[in-house]
Copies of this chain bind each other. A is one copy, B any other.
Amino acid sequence: MSQDLRKRIFTELDALILIDPHTHINALQPASQNLGDILGYHYYTELAHSAGLPREQIEDPNLDPKEKVGRLVEYLGPLNNTIQYSWLVEMAREFFGFTDEHINQQNWEALYDRAAAEMSADNWSEEVLRKSKLEAVFLTNDFDDPLEGFDTSVYIPCLRTDDLVFHLARPEVQERLDNATNSSFNDPQSLKEALGQLFQHFTDHQARACAISLPPDFAPAPVSDNRVRTAIEAIRLMGNETDPSHCRVISNYVFWTLTELCADYQLPFDLMIGVNRGVYASGVYQGQDLYDSRVSLIQYQQLWNAFPQVTFPVSVLASVTNQELTSYAWIFPNVITHGHWWYSNTPTYIEHDAAARLEAVPRSKQIGYYSDMYKLEFALPKFNMYKRILAKILAERFVIDRSWTEEQAIAFGHQVLRGNVEAVFNCTS
């Protein structure tokens, strides 16, 4: 009975058209051009590398994409247990009519060619959105992105601020900020004005969020103008050689100022908490980051108290932080649970984490899922994975364990899948 119930609920959840509230899509080239764009996703390159494929074999910039796919396919066997691999097969089936059990050395070339043919259609990205039941996707834009050349009602800008908060000591980042704002910050006030210009630019282009990823040891706090003044002088003078103590001051000042601007411009501030960059220095591109799960949301206590008017959709990298997220969202009006991020975006952790949230956080304060994708084709299998798990939880923990009706369960599922995205990010279609 439970499996039939799950299927019925899944079918209803799957009928919905969605907005994907966090992706890394390039709006000027949203879909893949060949299978190399798909198998080049770090989830495959890093797993293949982990299973034995030398990095050098796939990272030559002159490597032909088809040759690259061939080299990666050799290492799919050791990965074919992973959920990440299952996304690949599901894409191949749903988009390219693949019918074999596995992608292997015998059949990959035919798949490559079929995919290339389909992807070359003028309307391929629209077709992918349609098949994926997606109406719009949020982007992750560099702070100096011109935000031009695309439809912002489909590709919704989001101001990504990691470079500003953590890398402003770098001369090239300073230069990018100066160029983007046609100014040259040299004190707290002018830096704040420059940041404000970015918000103006982004909101002029229908941006709906500000976002950042944060290391486990970050604890936001305001800093005095005098201290910041010295730090700004230091980064302007010393660049990459700036003393770390000044860099920490800059991080805190910029982060706090961004939050003030989120308040002024009424943008939610997506916090993605817990990543350490470059832990495996010899890893493949985008496959070097890991984490220290010893992080606590109490580090954000001062921030969330200081900005009741700002909404913070919060993602955590480790499942062990999910109970804190659940509890903080249950107590703080401005904290929203936001998707299942990266290393927690696998079924066992999604199931445990989502179940905990669904039963203890107000239903209006939960955003179920985002794809985090780099190419449009990934939304379909990733959202399907989530919807299957959501259907399982609703079936087992609400209909069976708590005697909800199926209709109630489906309505709840719809709200976390779509309704709350619209409400939190103010992006009603």
- Which residues of A pack against B, CB within 8 Å? 3, 46-47, 49-52, 78-84, 86, 276, 279-283, 287-288, 290-294, 296-298, 301, 304-305, 308, 318-321, 323-324, 326-333, 343-344, 346-349, 352, 355-356, 358-365, 388, 392, 397, 400-402, 412
Nearest B residue (CB) for A346: B360
Find out whether the CB atom of A3 lies under 8 angstroms from the CB atom of B400: yes
User: CA A288 – CA B333 in complex, angstroms?
Assistant: 12
User: CA A349 – CA B330 in complex, angstroms?
Assistant: 15
A359 in contact with B81 given A293-B323, A333-B50 (CB within 8 Å):
yes
22 A-B residue pairs with Cβ-Cβ distance under 8 Å, sorted by A, are A46-B330, A51-B362, A52-B333, A78-B362, A79-B362, A80-B363, A82-B362, A84-B360, A276-B298, A279-B298, A287-B331, A290-B327, A292-B298, A293-B296, A293-B323, A293-B324, A318-B324, A319-B323, A330-B343, A347-B359, A348-B359, A349-B356
A282 in contact with B296 given A291-B327, A347-B401, A352-B352 (CB within 8 Å):
no
Find out whether the CB atom of A280 lies under 8 angstroms from the CB atom of B332: yes
Top 9 A-B pairs, shortest CB-CB distance: A51-B362, A78-B364, A81-B363, A292-B296, A348-B355, A292-B298, A327-B343, A348-B356, A78-B362
List chain B residues, Cβ under 8 A from A86: 402
List chain B residues, Cβ under 8 A from A356: 346, 348-349
Shortest CB-to-CB span from A349 to chain B, Å, is: 6
Nearest B residue (CB) for A357: B348
User: CA A360 – CA B359 in complex, angstroms?
Assistant: 26
Partner of A362 from B47, B344, B392 at Cβ < 8 Å = B47
Shortest CB-to-CB span from A1 to chain B, Å, is: 8
